[in-house]
């Protein structure tokens, strides 16, 4: 998260606080190998699954920019979780990789998912072999962390959003488990040079030339795609799934947006699945194709190519989301040809929890070849300053790279707490603003994970890793496991969240990323050491102790009052679902249809696996759905109209190539009465025509 107005709001609240089931799970576990006997032998079995994880679309603070003014008012596109289960056909060893269209994966989410998986599958899925990751969209509802720092802008904890995410991830994994079938795996790469830019170039430039040489202009342009080709009984194969890794922030949508959106990564997923392969997310619980667009070392990679919010390639944030997403999609598809290598070897995984507030780092991992230690988590003054590349304005007394140059910073920090000389020395040259570790606002015992898929290694990091930090982690792991650098990739935003991870050289520049590197100047060497040790253990075939996890904080959560629904009532003289503003009579492709309904609060029922709307075309005597609230062409907007009434505005941008005919828009709502009973209702617009 790198944003000025957003982080400022967060710090203001911190200062004030310191001073003053119904989801489908698919077939039973016994059917997990359902297709294995019908197809030719293969080294791997692969299963795929998708499920809805959309949180509360009304009055829930959004996760990412930490902007109090940014609360959900509807849906542009739904959030989803995509899961791949990859198993070694010979040994039965398996791993799970999940990409969820959310800002972060927090430890509480991971713990709840693992508990549900254990209840269903026993020890089949565990800490060791499940990797949960986030696209890092900044346009989703928040309040689903069990660490208080991240629930400030949502005014507390949102159980509905938390449950939607946990249950959706579990449903996606369950569907993938039931979908296992023989498959070939291959890895392809391509170069994508117009979809990211280094937003912290001043910090990047402090790195050694040998590191910078890997990244012309400071950007990591490597797009890596894991291809899943399922085997049919006749021996033929078809592309049935992909996981793509490309480092770029999911911040094409700005802090001004209040509609739920999976941002550029989510658009790439949607475009390949729905527009190219025809997946219907509502009817296809077992789709023929799944595309995950995961993050890598995206810590200093922005999609705003002109280094201003909503600027690059255009000035339109929706169009930028589509363009950057399309470029990621095109780069992944470009690599599907002959320039790929088959994966060979078994499946393996390791995980360890480490208290990063007190790691003794060995000399071989530090820049000066001397032993060093990490320290208790703290945020620097530039965290409050943020930047102008991906967010809004900030408090003027805080400047990136200048946190030690303003005496007011020290006065504010001293007013908040008495910093120990040891903490100040350990965090230097960062000027400590908030000791979030001592205040127990963030997680300090963090997971680091290593997965082996054939001869491809994936390092799960619970942080926003800069490109040079990612390079150094990859080198450390490649050396430990005895493979080439190109066979190792960093998976950022995995399993927990610890803000940023910069190199010691970048840390010294005191930019936003360095100020948000929690555990001091030698945090990266500590992570390198842990990842290297995991690699050495994997190479030797020995297990590693899991390490101590932090206490379960689920029982300590304070429910947020925001987004709570007491009662719904229609406008005077109206009924729920009545059309308040009707569409026109005729539209052409490229025009927008708009309908306003007498509605109710959308948080009454999240419609998981379904939709709040449908655009329908008349075919013969029946109406067929052509779009819903998961489609790019629609927008579902909700607003209060007085105390208990609501207005729902549904728009449909008629896509090019839409068939001529008769259409209508339907709204599916749910109203709460004074007794707390929630009842569904439907609104239907007058029929309108589309003429091509």
Active site positions, annotated: 302
| Element of type H or E holding 512 | helix 512-515
Q: Measure CA 250 to chain center.
A: 8
Between CA 266 and CA 639 the distance in angstroms is 25
Backbone angles phi, psi at 481, to 5 degrees: -90, -10
- 414 Rama class: left (phi>0) / alpha (psi -120 to 50) / beta: alpha
Q: How far, in Å, CA of 408 to CA of 56, rounded?
A: 39
- Residue 136 to residue 263: CA distance in whole angstroms: 9
What is the token pair recorded at 342?
Answer: 């088959």
CA 350 – CA 206 distance, rounded (Å): 33
Here the tokens at position 315 are 């000035």
CB 80 within 8 A of CB 52: yes
| Rounded Cα distance, 75 and 73, in Å | 7
Pairing relation of β-strands 290-294 and 237-245? parallel
Please, are residues 183 and 592 in contact by the beta-carbon 8 Å criterion? no
Q: Say which residues have a Cβ less than 8 Å from residue 443's Cβ, sequence separation at least 6.
A: 106, 107, 147, 462, 496, 497, 498, 550
As a whole number of angstroms, the distance between CA 242 and CA 606 comes to: 28
289, HSE (Cβ side, Cα atoms, 13 Å): 17
Residue length, the chain? 692
Helix 107-121 vs helix 159-178: angle between axes, to the nearest 10 degrees? Answer: 40
Q: Among 568, 577, 575, which Cα is nearest to 672's?
A: 568
* Cα angle 118-107-500, degrees, rounded to a multiple of 5: 145
Q: Helices marked H in 84-235 — which ranges?
A: 107-121, 159-178, 201-204, 209-212
Instruction: Give the E-state strand segments of 263-415 in sequence order.
Output: 290-294, 301-302, 340-342, 347-355, 360-361, 372-373, 379-380
């Amino acid at each position: 998260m790198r944003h000025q107005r957003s982080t400022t709001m967060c710090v203001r609240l911190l200062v004030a606080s310191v001073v003053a089931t119904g989801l489908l799970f698919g077939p039973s576990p016994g059917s997990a190998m359902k297709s294995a006997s019908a197809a030719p032998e293969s080294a791997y079995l692969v299963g795929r699954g998708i499920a809805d994880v959309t949180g509360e679309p009304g009055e829930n603070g959004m996760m990412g920019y930490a902007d109090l003014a940014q609360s959900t008012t509807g849906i542009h596109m739904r959030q989803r979780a995509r899961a791949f289960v990859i198993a070694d056909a010979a040994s039965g060893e398996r791993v799970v990789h999940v990409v969820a269209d959310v800002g972060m994966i927090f430890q509480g989410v991971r713990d709840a998912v693992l508990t549900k998986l254990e209840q269903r599958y026993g020890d089949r899925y565990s800490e060791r072999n499940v990797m949960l990751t986030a696209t890092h969209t900044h346009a989703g509802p928040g309040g689903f962390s069990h660490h208080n720092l991240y629930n400030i802008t949502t005014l507390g904890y949102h159980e509905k959003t938390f449950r939607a995410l946990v249950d959706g991830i579990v449903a996606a994994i369950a569907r993938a488990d039931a979908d296992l079938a023989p498959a070939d795996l291959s890895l392809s790469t391509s170069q994508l040079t117009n979809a990211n830019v280094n937003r912290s170039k001043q910090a990047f430039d402090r790195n050694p030339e040998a590191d910078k040489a890997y990244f012309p202009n400071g950007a990591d342009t490597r797009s890596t795609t894991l291809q899943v080709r399922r085997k049919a009984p006749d021996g033929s194969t078809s592309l049935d799934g992909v996981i793509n890794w490309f480092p770029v922030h999911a911040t094409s949508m700005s802090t001004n947006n209040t509609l739920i959106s999976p941002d550029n990564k989510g658009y790439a997923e949607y475009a390949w699945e729905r527009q190219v392969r025809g997946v219907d997310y509502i009817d296809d619980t077992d789709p023929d194709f799944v595309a995950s667009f995961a993050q890598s070392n995206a810590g200093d990679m922005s999609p705003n190519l002109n280094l201003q919010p909503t600027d690059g390639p255009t000035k339109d944030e929706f169009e930028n989301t589509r363009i950057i997403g399309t470029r990621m999609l095109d780069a992944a598809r470009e690599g599907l040809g002959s320039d790929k290598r088959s994966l060979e070897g078994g499946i393996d995984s390791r995980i360890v929890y480490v208290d990063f507030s007190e790691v003794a780092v060995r000399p071989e991992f530090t820049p000066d070849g001397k032993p060093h230690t990490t320290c208790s988590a703290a945020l620097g003054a530039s965290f409050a300053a943020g930047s102008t590349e991906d967010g809004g304005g900030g408090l003027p007394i805080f400047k990136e790279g200048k946190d030690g140059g303003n005496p007011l910073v020290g006065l504010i920090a001293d007013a908040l707490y008495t910093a120990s000389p040891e903490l100040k020395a350990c965090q230097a040259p960062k000027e400590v603003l908030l000791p979030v570790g001592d205040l127990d606002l963030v997680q300090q015992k963090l997971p680091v994970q290593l997965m082996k898929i054939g001869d491809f290694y994936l390092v799960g990091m619970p942080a926003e890793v800069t490109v040079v930090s990612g390079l150094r982690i990859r080198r450390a792991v490649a050396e430990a496991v005895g493979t080439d650098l190109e066979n190792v990739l960093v998976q950022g935003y995995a399993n927990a969240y610890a803000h940023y991870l910069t190199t010691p050289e970048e840390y010294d520049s005191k930019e936003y990323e360095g100020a948000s590197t929690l555990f001091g100047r030698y945090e990266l060497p500590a992570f390198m050491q842990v990842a290297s040790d995991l690699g050495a253990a994997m190479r030797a075939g020995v297990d590693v102790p899991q390490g101590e996890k932090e206490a379960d904080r689920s029982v300590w959560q304070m429910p947020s009052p925001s987004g709570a629904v007491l009662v719904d009532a229609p406008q005077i003289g109206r009924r729920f679902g009545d059309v308040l503003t009707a569409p026109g009579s005729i539209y052409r492709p490229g025009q927008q249809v708009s309908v306003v309904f007498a509605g109710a609060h959308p948080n009454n029922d999240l419609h998981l696996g379904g939709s709040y709307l449908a655009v329908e075309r008349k075919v013969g005597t029946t109406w067929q759905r052509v779009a819903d609230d998961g489609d790019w062409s629609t927008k579902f907007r909700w607003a209060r109209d007085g105390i208990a009434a609501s207005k729902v505005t549904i728009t449909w941008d008629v896509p090019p190539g839409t068939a001529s005919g008769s259409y209508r828009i339907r709204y599916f709502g749910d109203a709460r009465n004074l007794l707390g009973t929630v009842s569904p209702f439907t609104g239907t617009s007058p029929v309108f025509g589309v003429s091509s």
